[in-house]
């Protein structure tokens, strides 16, 4: 028989971090790195954002990358990827967030 389970409040429960509408909107843009308009994915920016070890950042920190560039982002690491592409991914994610028609949903959820 197992001992009683310890109740822990999840930060995710208090502050929802996902906004499917915003992610879909981000995927509606060309790849930020190469300009491709096919196989666009929503890539989360990890460096300097609200993620952590083993915790995906909130959808506020997303940019549009094609499948190939998204794979490179993860394989090379963000610093190398940014150096090679000339992108400032955090600034790009902030631009997407400010322009998003779904920003109000994320602001309300994180308030």
In the chain, what is the straight-line distance between the N-terminal and C-terminal CA atoms, in Å? 41
The predicted structure's pLDDT at residue 78? 94
The predicted structure's pLDDT at residue 16? 64
Q: What is the pTM of this model?
A: 0.81
Count the alpha carbons within 13 Å of 29 in the hemisphere toward its beta carbon.
20
Q: Which two tokens stand for residue 93?
A: 């994610």
Query: Could you tell me the mean pLDDT of each successive run of 10 residues in the chain, 111 residues long?
Result: 72 67 95 96 93 87 97 96 97 96 77 49
CA distance 7 to 1: 18
28: exposed, middle or buried (Cβ count in 10 Å: 0-12, 13-18, 19+): exposed
Specify whether the CB–CB gap between 50 and 57 falls below 8 A.
Answer: yes
CA distance 16 to 95: 21
């Amino acid at each position: 028989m197992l001992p009683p389970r310890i109740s822990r409040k999840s930060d995710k429960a208090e502050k929802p971090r996902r906004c499917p509408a915003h992610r879909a909107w981000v995927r509606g843009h060309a790849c930020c790195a190469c300009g491709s308009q096919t196989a666009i994915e929503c890539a989360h920016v990890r460096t300097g954002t609200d993620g952590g070890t083993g915790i995906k950042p909130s959808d506020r920190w997303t940019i549009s990358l094609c499948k190939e560039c998204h794979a490179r982002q993860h394989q090379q690491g963000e610093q190398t990827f940014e150096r090679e592409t000339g992108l400032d991914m955090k600034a790009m994610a902030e631009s997407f967030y400010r322009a998003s028609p779904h920003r109000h949903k994320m602001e309300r959820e994180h308030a």
